[in-house]
Chains A and B, each alone.
Chain A
Amino acid sequence: MVNSNKWGMVVDIDRCTGCQGCVVACQAENNIPINLEEHFNQRRAIQWIRIERYWEGEYPDVKARFIPIMCQHCGNAPCEPVCPVYATYHNDEGMNVQVYNRCIGTRFCANGCPYHIRFFNFWEPEWPESLKNQLNPDVTVRSRGIMEKCSFCVQRIQRSTREADRDGVDLEDGDRGLNPACVNACATNSIIFGNFNDPNSEVSKIKEREMKEGGRGYGLLENLGTDPNVIYLKKVDESVEVGHGH
C-alpha cells in the first residue's frame, strides 16, 4: 500500500484508431449531456474526452492522426489559481478536482486551460424520459452555468478505495472497477490508468522506460510548464518524414 496516490494515465497514440469508444463510454459513465448536431455547430458540445484529428501530408499521401485528449490533471494547473470561489483545486491524490456546487460559472478556468478540456454548460441539460434511467447515480447531474471536465472517473476511484478498505486489501493496478470508463472501453488498450507513486504499476514502468532520451514519451505542450499527469507515447511511423516539431 503506498502512502498517497498520484493517479495518472499513459496514452499510446500508436495504438489509437480514433474509434471514439472512449468518448461514448465517458458520456455514459459521467452523465454528460447528449450532444445534438446543433451543439456541435455551436461549438458547445461537451466531451470530457475527445479525439482530435489532424491531417498530415498532401494527397494522395494524406494521413489522419488521432490523439485522445482529456483533462491532464496538471501538477501546475493554470486553471486552479484563477477560480475566484475555489471550485477547482488540487486534491492530495494528484488530481485536479471540480466542485460543481461551488462553481458560479465565471469561465476563467476555461481560459486558463491550454488544452481546452474544460466545458461549460451553456444550456440546461435535458434527457428524454426513457434515458433518465441510465443516469449514473454516483455522479452529479450538472445544471446550466457550471463548468465540468474529466475527473479520471473519481467516483470509481472512490468506490474502489472504499471497497478495498472494507475488504482489507490493496488496490489492484489495472482493476477494471478502478479504471475510468474510457480505459475500459478502449478496444486497442491505448489508454492505461494507474498510480505514478507505485513503482510497480504499469504506468510507472512505462514512464520509466519511455520518458528518457530516445523514448516515445512526452507531455502535451510541455514547454508551458503545466506538469501534466498524462503521458503520451509518440506514434511509431517509419514511412512518414516528420518535419521540425513545435
Chain B
Amino acid sequence: MVTDPGNRVIESYVETDNSAEARKAVSDGILNIHKVTSNRFWQFAALFGIMFVLGLIGFVMRLSSGFDDKAAWGYYVALFAFLMTTSSAAPMVAIAPRIANSHWRRPISRAAEIWTLAGCLNLLIYIPLIWLLPSLENGRRSLWFYGQQKAQDMDSCWVFCWGGGVPAYSPHIWATLAILGLVVLGFALLWLSILPDLAVLRDHGEGWQKKWGRKLALGWRGTSAQWNWQYHRMGVVGAFYFMMLVFVHFFISVEFLMVHVPGWIDSLYPITHAHNALQGGVATVMLTMFFLRKFGGYKDYIGLDQFWGLGKLLLALSLLWFWFWFSSFMVLWYGKKPSEQAVLELLVKGPYLYLFITIFLLVFILPWFTMIWNPVRRSVWGPPILAGSILVGTLLDRIRLYVGAWDVAEKSEMMHSMMHMEMEEVPGTIPSLGIADAFVIVGFIAGSVLIFMLATRLIPAINIWERKEMLLYKAEVQFHRTKVMVMGKPR
C-alpha cells in the first residue's frame, strides 16, 4: 500500500506488462529486422572486403621491408594502438552501465559486445610486433628492471634465460599473454551475452539460424538457475575484462611507446592511454549506434535516450582527455628540465605541432564546446558527428605518438642512467606516410568494420533478453497532469 505525503492512498502497485505476448512481441520484432539483409549491406561488405585485401597487401609490403628499421613500422604500430583504443574498448559501454543499472544501455549493449570479435584481428596485427620490440640484451629501457640493470653494467653479456633466449620476465611474453587474455575474455563476454538469444534463434528462427542456434545455445531453457549463472558470470567476466583492458593499455603505453623515447618518464601516461581507450570505445559505439539506427532498420529501438546517455558520457570523457593531457604537460613543461623539454619538443611543439593542434581541436575543443549545448547533446545527429570527430582525432593522435616515438627509438645519449637519458636530437620532420602504411591503415580499419558487419548477420544486433527484461521494470503512469515513466531499480 503506498500513501502519498498527504497520507492518501494512491495505488497499491504499478503493474508492468510482462505477459507472454509482450515478450514474444519483443523477440519477434527484433528477429524480423535481423532476418532481412539488404543488398546495400552486401555492397558495403564487398567494399570493405576489398579494402581489407588492400590492407593485407600493404601488410606484406611492410613485412618485406624487414624488422631492422623501427621508424618504418611507426604507422603500423599506430594503427594497432588505434584499433586497441577503439574496438577493444567498445565493450566497456556494455559493461559499465550494466553495473550502474542504467536502462538506456539495453538496445546498444549487444553492438558494443560484438566489437570484441574484431579483437582477433588485433591479435593477428600484434604478432609481427613481437619481433620489433627491442630485446633485453642490449640494455633496453623497460618497466622490467632487469633491462635497466643490463644498461648499467654493459660489460657483462650474461643473460639469465631459458628456452630460445627469452627470459621469463620478458615483456614480450607478458604483452602476448595480456592481449590474448583480452581477446579470450571478450569472446567469453560475447558468448555469455548471446546465449539466451541463441536459444530464441533456435526456437523461433528459420533454417540456418535454427541450426546455428541449436549448436551454440547449449540447451538454454531460461530457468532461474541458468539466469543466475549467466548474470553472475557476466558480472565477473565484465569486471575482469575491464581490469585486463587497463592492464593491456598500461602495457602498450609503456612497452610500445614510452620506453622508446629517451627521457619520457610519465607516470600518468598509462592512465591517459586507458582513458583515451574509453573515449574511443564510446565514440565507436556511438557511431555504430547511428549506423544501426539509420541503415540497420533499428530505428524504433535505438532512440534519443541512447544518444543522450552516451552523449553525456562522451562529453565527460572529452573533458577528462584535456585534464589528463594537461596534467602530464604541466609537470613536464614547468620544470624546464632538458630531457623533458626534448620530449615535449618531439611530441607537441616540434614537427607534430600542426597535427597536435588538429587533434586538440577534434578530440577536445569541438566535442566539448558543441556538446555542452543541450540541443546538440539531446539529438540523434549531434553526438555521432562529434563521435566521428573524436575517432578521426584519436587516429591522428595515435599516429602522432607512435610514429614520433618509434622515430627516436634507440637513439639516445647518456645511456648510463635513466634520469639523464636524453634524445640525441629531436627529428625535424614527420616520417612520411608510405603506400604500404596507407593501405595498412585503411585496410585494417575496414577489416574490423567488416568483421562487425558479418557478425551482425549471425547474431542479432539488439539484445533480445535485455529488452524483455525492460518489460519488467518499466511502466507508465499518470502523474498529476502528465504521464511519466516509472523505472524500477532492483539490485
Which residues of A are interface residues toward B (Cβ below 8 A)? Answer: 76, 78, 81, 223-225, 244, 246
Contacts and interface: CB of A to CB of B under 8 A. Distances in A.
Nearest to A223: B420
A210 B338 CA distance: 22
Given A78-B335, A78-B336, A225-B338, 6 more contacts: A76-B336, A81-B334, A223-B414, A223-B419, A225-B335, A244-B416
B416 A225 contact: no
A225 B334 CA distance: 12
A224 B334 contact: no
B226 interface: no
A246 B338 contact: no
A225 B345 CA distance: 15
B337 interface: yes
A225 B335 CA distance: 9
A117 B338 CA distance: 22
Interface residues of B, number: 13
Chain B CB within 10 A, most for which of A76, A223, A244: A223
A118 to B, nearest CB: 17
A81 B334 CA distance: 9
A223 B416 contact: no
Contacts of B419: 223
Chain A CB within 10 A, most for which of B336, B339, B414: B336
A23 B419 CA distance: 33
B138 interface: no
A130 to B, nearest CB: 47
B341 interface: yes
Given A76-B336, A78-B335, A81-B334, A225 B341 contact: yes
A225 B336 CA distance: 7
A18 B341 CA distance: 37
A219 B386 CA distance: 51
Interface residues of B: mostly helix, strand, loop or mixed? loop
B374 interface: no
A244 B335 CA distance: 26
Contacts of B338: 223, 225
Contacts of A225: 335-339, 341
Contacts of B420: 223, 246
Contacts of A78: 335-336
B228 interface: no
Nearest to A82: B334
A224 B337 contact: yes
Nearest to A245: B416
5 contacts: A223-B339, A223-B420, A224-B335, A225-B337, A225-B339
Nearest to B341: A225
B18 interface: no
A76 B336 CA distance: 8
Contacts of A81: 334
Interface of B: 334-339, 341, 414, 416-417, 419-420, 422
Contacts of A224: 335, 337
A223 B262 CA distance: 14
A114 to B, nearest CB: 10
A76 B334 CA distance: 11
A223 B337 contact: yes
A75 to B, nearest CB: 10
A155 B277 CA distance: 59
B417 A246 contact: yes
Nearest to A246: B417
A52 to B, nearest CB: 21
Contacts of A223: 337-339, 414, 419-420, 422
Nearest to B419: A223
Chain A CB within 10 A, most for which of B337, B339, B414, B419: B337
A223 B335 CA distance: 12
Contacts of B416: 244
Contacts of B336: 76, 78, 225
Nearest to A244: B416
A74 to B, nearest CB: 10
Contacts of B334: 81
Contacts of B341: 225
Contacts of B414: 223
Nearest to A77: B336
A223 B338 CA distance: 7
Nearest to A227: B336
Contacts of B417: 246
Contacts of A244: 416
A78 B336 CA distance: 8
A77 to B, nearest CB: 10
Contacts of B337: 223-225
A225 B420 CA distance: 11
A84 to B, nearest CB: 15
Nearest to B417: A246
B330 to A, nearest CB: 12
Nearest to B420: A223
A224 B338 CA distance: 7
A17 to B, nearest CB: 31
Nearest to B421: A223
Contacts of B422: 223
B314 to A, nearest CB: 36
B291 to A, nearest CB: 50
Q: 3 smallest A-B Cβ distances: which pairs?
A: A225-B338, A225-B337, A223-B420
A177 to B, nearest CB: 36
Chain B CB within 10 A, most for which of A81, A225, A246: A225
A148 to B, nearest CB: 24
A197 B422 CA distance: 29
